[in-house]
Amino acid sequence: METDEGASAGDHQAQVIVVGAGPAGSATALHLARAGVDVLLLEKGTFPRDKVCGDGLTPRGVQQLVRMGVDIDAPGWMRTKGMRWVCGGRQVHIDWPRSGSHPDFGLTRSRRDFDDILVRQAVAAGARLLLETKATGPLTDRAGRITGVSAVVGADQQPRNYHASVVIAADGASARTALAMGLERDPSRPVATAARRYYRSEARTHDPYLELWADLLCSRTGRDLPGYGWIFPLGDGRVNVGLGALPHRRHGAVDLRATMEQWVTRLPPHWELREENADSPLRSAALPMGFNRRPQYRRGLLLVGDSGGMVSPWSGEGIVQAMEAGEIAAETVALALQRPGGAGREQALHQYASEVNCRWGRYYRLGNTVAELVFARYGYRPLLNRRVMASPTLVHTLARLLTHGTDAPSGDLIDTVVRGLVRMVPAPRRHAGGLGVRRR
Ligand SMILES: Cc1cc2nc3c(=O)[nH]c(=O)nc-3n(C[C@H](O)[C@H](O)[C@H](O)COP(=O)(O)OP(=O)(O)OC[C@H]3O[C@@H](n4cnc5c(N)ncnc54)[C@H](O)[C@@H]3O)c2cc1C
């Protein structure tokens, strides 16, 4: 970490710096720019570019895209009607609910396009995007408060400093900015890994359901996979096929590649998920879950998306959480900047951690417990047993829990039950450095 006392002329300045232009960074930059804040979005890569992902969005994610003004009627978006869970030789279709404030459809789109669309949207809103600009570390004042970042720019890695009153870490699972500011990962929280590969499959590319397999077995141990497999349609002739898993509680890390090969070879031949139809290599990445890095605000730095371990411990979804947290961060920062610097502004910035904990704290707490006690030991099979699969009410309740499909009163009985269940979970403890959790 570099100590920074006084910016030199020619250094780059903004009210807010956002490090990383994935969904978290683009959403944050867009909402900040809309609020009239001067925001610099630093991205180490260029667009379009790939990101290892399942490319699936639930209705909650669709809602965020609409809030960001993304044209989801444009060509290239594939709409889904719901999920199809496959378990024990049975299938159950769960249509996205029509109740509540979320749309009644989901979307898929490859992250190559998706991230490009989002970053363009942020730029159109007024964010200043700097590509091929890799943040290398925080700049801090004598009190240890972040005042900007150092970076290397372009192919020739020119060193440059950028300065701002507030910095947002949206640099993904590596969380380098947070780590450099002393925000370590909580080792008691789950970190899953997931792998995906694209295949050309005319038979499956227009499937209106996200298909999830809950009864896969680990290649090495023959035990239940502590996770699930997916086949997501992209509507462009391809499907995204993948597996996500926690480390097994007793047997350790899962060999995702071998388990995936075993699974794919037993799928129906007319789905064409064969080597010659593969459209990409198999690639994997970490899923930092359940708020595994806290507090989400400290000394001028806000953590948004994977850098704050915001992937859902229930489902492994992280895009919607990244976009929602980005909007909360932007609102908090825009309000905080209205105050003069010092204690008042600091107090306003702390509200970010309070707000994300207020929205998701109980839900994630319950999810972390279920992940540890059920998913990491027996996978999803116990939840999708014969009785649950046979009961539409139980299946819909489970689906809403897994996808966080409910958090506003809707008058729907299942929503009321799920909300009631989550509210029974004690609110998370106050975390050192935060101002605690507001109750709703
Ligand atoms: C195999 C797999 C499947 C998944 N499937 C789904 C799914 O179907 N649905 C879902 O909702 N979620 C899914 N996820 C989770 C989802 O991909 C992440 O939660 C989401 O991408 C988080 O967004 P983010 O913006 O926080 O981070 P990222 O998407 O990782 O973006 C971080 C950005 O920061 C940039 N960056 C990093 N370091 C620096 C630096 N030093 N300086 C400048 N820029 C930097 C990167 O280049 C990148 O553009 C999946 C994850 C995996 C691994």
Ligand 1 site residues, Cβ closer than 6 angstroms: 19-25, 42-45, 51-56, 134-135, 170-172, 174, 176, 194-196, 242, 285, 287, 305-306, 311, 317-320, 322
H or E stretch at 372? none
Provide CB contacts within 8 A for 227, sequence distance 6+: 192, 194, 216, 243, 244, 245, 246, 254, 316, 375, 379, 380
Helices (H), 226-342: 256-265, 319-336
The whole-number pLDDT of residue 437 equals 40
Residue 439 lies in a domain: no
Distances in whole angstroms, Cα of residue 185 to Cα of each of 213, 224, 270? 30, 27, 44
In a domain, 372, yes or no: no
Determine the structural domain holding residue 240 and report its residue range: 191-287
Question: Do 196 and 225 fall within a single domain?
Answer: yes
- What's residue 249's pLDDT? 86
> Quick one: 394 exposed, middle or buried, by C-beta within 10 A (0-12, 13-18, 19+)?
middle
Looking at the chain, the number of H-run helices and the number of E-run strands are: 11, 21
Indicate whether 211 and 119 sit together in one domain.
Answer: no
Owner of token pair 């388990």: 259
Report the number of distinct structural domains present in the chain: 2
Q: Helix, strand or coil for residue 70?
A: coil
Tens-level pLDDT at each residue, the chain (440 residues): 665 544 443 359 999 999 999 999 999 999 999 999 999 999 999 999 999 999 999 999 999 999 999 999 999 999 999 999 999 899 999 999 876 778 999 999 999 999 999 999 999 999 999 999 999 999 999 999 999 999 999 999 999 999 999 999 999 999 999 999 999 999 988 789 999 999 999 999 999 999 999 999 999 999 999 999 999 999 999 999 999 999 998 888 999 999 999 999 999 999 999 999 999 999 999 999 999 999 999 999 999 999 999 999 999 999 999 999 999 999 999 999 999 989 999 999 999 999 999 999 999 999 999 999 999 999 999 888 888 888 988 888 888 888 887 666 666 777 777 777 777 778 776 554 444 444 33
- CA 127 to mean position of chain CA atoms: 21
Does some domain include residue 322? yes
39 and 172 share one domain: yes
* pLDDT value at residue 401: 85
CA distance readout (Å), 87 to 38, 43, 124, 243, 385: 50, 41, 45, 15, 8
For ligand 1, atom 27, the nearest C-alpha belongs to: 172
Give the Å distance between the CA of 156 and the centre of ligand 1: 25
